[in-house]
Amino acid sequence: MAQDDKALIARLQQHGVEFVLIGGVCGVMHGAGLVTYDLDVCCRLGSVNLRRLEAALKDLNPWHRLTPNKLPFALTDELCSCLKNLYLQTDLGKLDCLGDVKGVGDYDAVLKRSVEFEMSFGRIRMLDLDTLIAAKEAVGREKDKYAVRLLRVLAEKRRGSN
């Protein structure tokens, strides 16, 4: 199944979804030479932003990828009030939307520790490098430790060039 992270990011940006890139793709954009199979974002999981997300993904056949019966992604007022995370499969690939990031905090905390980048389709935000390292250390899986080794090199070089 296709995974087109740039197209997914562009969709979110163009529909005004409040999100911050986290996880593997964030690491890639900072310069870590890793391969990651899904797109992780932290986003505000309130009703307004969820409706924007729903609109962004509407024609991509989104469904909850961790449900055994592939439940379609369809918001109700009740669901908006109790969602903590969203793990979606779409025609453009996997999109995981987390309401908070371990080691960092909720969306507002994540937003404070994010940096803005200009992409060809607009400005997007992603976790700053030091916070990404802290987040990966907080999760602590073997693959995160592997990534942290690379990310620490990038942080060290950045400090050196500053």
Partner 1 sequence: MIDAATLAQMNGEQVCPPHAGPAWREAFEYGFDMSLIEETLTKTPEQRLDEHQQKLNFILEIEATRSRKN
Q: Which residues bind partner 1 (CB under 8 A)?
A: 1-6, 25, 28-33, 35-37, 117, 119-120, 126, 149-150, 152-157, 160
Least distance (Å) between residue 145 CB and partner 1:
10
The residue among 50 and 92 lying less far from partner 1, judged by its C-beta, is 92
The residue among 59 and 156 lying less far from partner 1, judged by its C-beta, is 156
Least distance (Å) between residue 106 CB and partner 1:
25
Q: Does residue 25 contact residue 96 with C-beta atoms inside 8 Å?
A: no
The residue among 80 and 154 lying less far from partner 1, judged by its C-beta, is 154
Least distance (Å) between residue 117 CB and partner 1:
5
The residue among 76 and 161 lying less far from partner 1, judged by its C-beta, is 161
User: At which residue do the structure tokens 């449900």 appear?
Assistant: 67
Rounded (to 5) percent helix, strand, coil in the chain: 45, 25, 30
Phi and psi of 38, rounded to 5°? -145, 170
Least distance (Å) between residue 74 CB and partner 1:
28
Q: How many residues are given for the chain?
A: 162
* Angstrom distance (rounded) from CA 95 to CA 78: 22
Torsion of CA 22, 25, 31, 34, to 10 degrees: 120
